[in-house]
């Protein structure tokens, strides 16, 4: 039986997907307020969808996929919108931004190559990485402070390695895996 699309957590994930183009367009604004408002809404909705899914017992494979699609949309929209709003800063940090994008995309490529679809593991380090990346992005864009972003990128590299290791370990895609260590222990 297919999970219903119109659950509260899924609607929140769909909201985040719908916000992505507006985040990019807000980069064209002469004010940073629209950008940070939309970004903040997207980040809060990212935290809420999974929490509410568990609280309301509305977890599903579809919900995990929508959450992951929302993550991809958020990261790509942030990069593009920030580049439109702060081109000098983004160009200065381009090596780390490109590294972040690459290591964010590599696990997806590994999953597509092995399973012919995106994986949605939602590991502990993924949650930690999301918080650190959010803080790093705000530190970089609001305060022009780079080191929190660098720390977030380093954790993202570890997250990518773990997600690829999980993909290589699994025979079929699964969701909500705590960590590669938990997966190995379970096997």
Looking at the fold, whether 28 and 64 belong to one and the same domain comes out as yes
pLDDT at residue number 3 = 63
Write out the H or E segment, with its range, that includes residue 19. helix 8-26
Please, where are the H alpha helices in 86-179? 87-92, 94-115, 124-143, 147-169
Same domain for 72 and 16: yes
Q: Quick one: tokens of 107?
A: 């696990």
Domain co-membership, 67 together with 112: no
Segments forming the whole domain that contains residue 92: 86-187
Same domain, 81 and 119: no
In sequence order, what are the residues at sequence separation of 6 or more whose Cβ sits closer than 8 angstroms to the Cβ of residue 81?
Answer: 23, 24, 25, 26, 27, 35, 39
Residue 124 shares a structural domain with residue 62: no
Query: How far apart are the C-alpha atoms of 43 and 19, rounded to whole Å?
Result: 11
Residue after which a domain boundary falls, among 64, 85, 106: 85
Please state, in angstroms and rounded to a whole number, the distance separating the CA atoms of residues 152 and 145: 12
Q: Could you report the per-residue pLDDT of 115-154, keeping only the tens digit for each?
A: 998 888 889 999 999 999 999 999 999 999 999 999 999 9
* Residue that terminates a domain, selected from 51, 85, 119: 85
Query: Which pTM was predicted?
Result: 0.87
**pLDDT per residue as tens digits for the range 29-61:** 989 999 999 999 999 999 899 899 989 999 888
């Amino acid at each position: 039986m297919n999970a219903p699309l119109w659950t509260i957590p899924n609607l929140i994930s769909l909201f985040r997907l719908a916000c992505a183009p507006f985040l990019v367009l807000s980069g064209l604004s002469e004010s940073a307020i629209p950008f940070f408002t939309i970004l903040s809404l997207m980040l809060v909705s990212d935290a809420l969808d999974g929490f509410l899914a568990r609280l309301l017992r509305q977890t599903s494979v579809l919900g995990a996929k929508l959450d992951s699609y929302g993550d991809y949309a958020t990261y790509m929209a942030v990069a593009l919108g920030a580049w439109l709003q702060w081109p000098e800063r983004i160009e200065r940090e381009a090596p780390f931004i490109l590294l972040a994008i690459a290591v964010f995309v590599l696990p997806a490529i590994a999953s597509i190559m092995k399973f012919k679809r995106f994986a949605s593991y939602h590991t502990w380090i993924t949650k930690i990485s999301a918080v650190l990346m959010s803080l790093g992005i705000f530190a970089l864009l609001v305060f022009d402070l780079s080191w929190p972003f660098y720390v977030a990128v380093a954790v993202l590299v570890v997250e990518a390695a773990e997600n690829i290791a999980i993909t290589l370990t699994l025979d079929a895609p699964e969701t909500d895996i705590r960590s590669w260590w938990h997966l190995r222990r379970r096997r």
